[in-house]
Every structure is written in C-alpha cells, then in structure tokens.
C-alpha cells in the first residue's frame, strides 16, 4: 500500500501545475455543431455513474454510428437495449443522476467527453425513434448536458489502441464464459464447460 498520498488540491497543483488556456476554453455547456458531428459518427461510448453510497460503475454502450440521438443542444438520448439485467448504471442513476460519458470513433485518437444529469425515460415516441430492426429499447437515458469538451489523444497514442502491431497476444487470457464457469456455485446439469461456452456465445448473437 502507498505511504505517501495526496490529500489536497494544492498538493496536486504543486505537482501538476494549472491547465493551459486551451484546456479551459474548450469546455462548453452545450453540444455545438462539432460535438453533434462527433456523436453522429460514434458507435461506442462508456458511461460512468455513482450511487448514493459512492458505489461506482462504468458501462459500455454501443450500436451503429449515431445510435445516440442529439435531441437539442442541451439533451441527448441513449437507448438501453438487451443486456444482462444487472442494471448497475440505471440503479445508480435512480439514486444519483450525475453521469459522465466518453464517445469513441474507431481509428480516431481524440474523444468527446460529456457530463450531465440523466433520467430514465419511457416516452413512446422517443423509444420508437430509437428502434432498430423494429425493436425498441427497453428505456432511454435522456442526458441533460452540463459540460462538453474534446479530450486529447495522448492516452490512445501511449496505448497504441488503434495500432494492431502493438496489440498484446491475449491467447492465454481465458474467455469470459470460462471465467464465469469457475464462479458458478452450481454448474448447469449435464453441461460441460465447452458446451456452456458455445451456448453463451450463441446467445450473444441476439443483439436486439
């Protein structure tokens, strides 16, 4: 465990300094034309939430580019589709409506960050608008934007995220299904781990 920890913002500033003018000026309280264009091309985002007790969750959301709909300069709608029904993020939002979003476009190393407040909507017209292949999402997260700004590419450059030549060989990392198999208190009767893995992968093909 670390012995030297930071306990004040002044200590942080002494180490890191203050943000430059551009880093401050880029933040806006609305979605301008550039933010809207980025969201329209983004097939993936991650959403951070926290419950009333401070319990945090980060959830991935993905679909075809533009799956998040910008309703106006202050509001966007995120469809919540078929999943595992843990509802970690949604339960947090019921207790604490603050959310943080990061939008990704494959191949681009900069990202769009949006912070705001969310509510879980069941408006029929909105769900119809967000339908894919005739199937509506169960709910939609309507986020009221408080901050929107671009984030620089340094993390992606360091990670080589879009550079296949730099990707690690993860062949020795077991599949999620095999990890879960070991954690099941009772195994599915008459099923081997190979069959469990195959069936789980088949279920994942149902996207909507």
Residue 102: pLDDT band with limits 50, 70, 90: very high
Rounded average pLDDT over 187-199: 95
Share of the chain above pLDDT 70, in %: 100
Residue 128: pLDDT band with limits 50, 70, 90: very high
Q: In the CATH hierarchy, which fold is given to the domain comprising 23-159?
A: Pnp Oxidase; Chain A (2.30.110)
**pLDDT digits 0-9 by tens, 70-88:** 999 999 999 999 899 999 9
The chain-wide mean pLDDT, for the chain, equals: 97
SS3 label, residue 181: helix
17: Cβ contacts below 8 Å, ≥ 6 apart: none
Residue 153: pLDDT band with limits 50, 70, 90: very high
- Count of other CB atoms within 10 angstroms of residue 26: 14
* Cβ 35 vs Cβ 27: under 8 Å: no
* Sheet strands (E) in 73-207: 75-80, 98-104, 111-121, 139-151
Q: What angle do CA 39, 89, 81 make, to 5 degrees?
A: 60
Rounded average pLDDT over 20-38: 96
**pLDDT digits 0-9 by tens, 158-171:** 999 999 999 999 99
Which pLDDT belongs to residue 172? 97
Which pLDDT belongs to residue 1? 86
Domain boundaries, the chain: 23-159, 168-203
SS3 label, residue 134: coil
């Amino acid at each position: 465990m670390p012995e030297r920890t930071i306990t004040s913002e002044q200590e942080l500033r002494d180490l890191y300094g203050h943000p430059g003018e551009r880093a401050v000026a880029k933040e806006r309280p609305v979605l301008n034309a550039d933010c809207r264009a980025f969201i329209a091309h983004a097939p993936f985002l991650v959403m951070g939430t926290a419950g009333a007790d401070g319990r945090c969750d980060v959830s991935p959301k993905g679909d075809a580019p533009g799956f998040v709909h910008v309703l106006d300069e202050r509001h966007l709608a995120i469809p919540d589709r078929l999943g595992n029904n843990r509802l970690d993020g949604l339960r947090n939002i019921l207790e604490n409506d603050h959310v943080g979003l990061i939008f990704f476009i494959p191949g681009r190393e900069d990202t769009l960050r949006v912070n705001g407040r969310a509510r879980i909507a069941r408006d029929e017209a909105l769900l119809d608008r967000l339908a894919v292949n005739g199937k509506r999402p169960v709910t939609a997260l309507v986020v009221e934007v408080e901050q929107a700004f671009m984030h620089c590419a340094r993390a992606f450059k360091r990670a080589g995220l879009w550079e296949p030549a730099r990707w690690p060989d993860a062949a020795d990392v077991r599949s999620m299904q095999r990890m879960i198999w070991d954690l099941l208190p009772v195994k599915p009767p008459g099923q081997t781990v190979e069959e469990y893995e195959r069936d789980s992968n088949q279920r994942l093909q149902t996207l909507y």
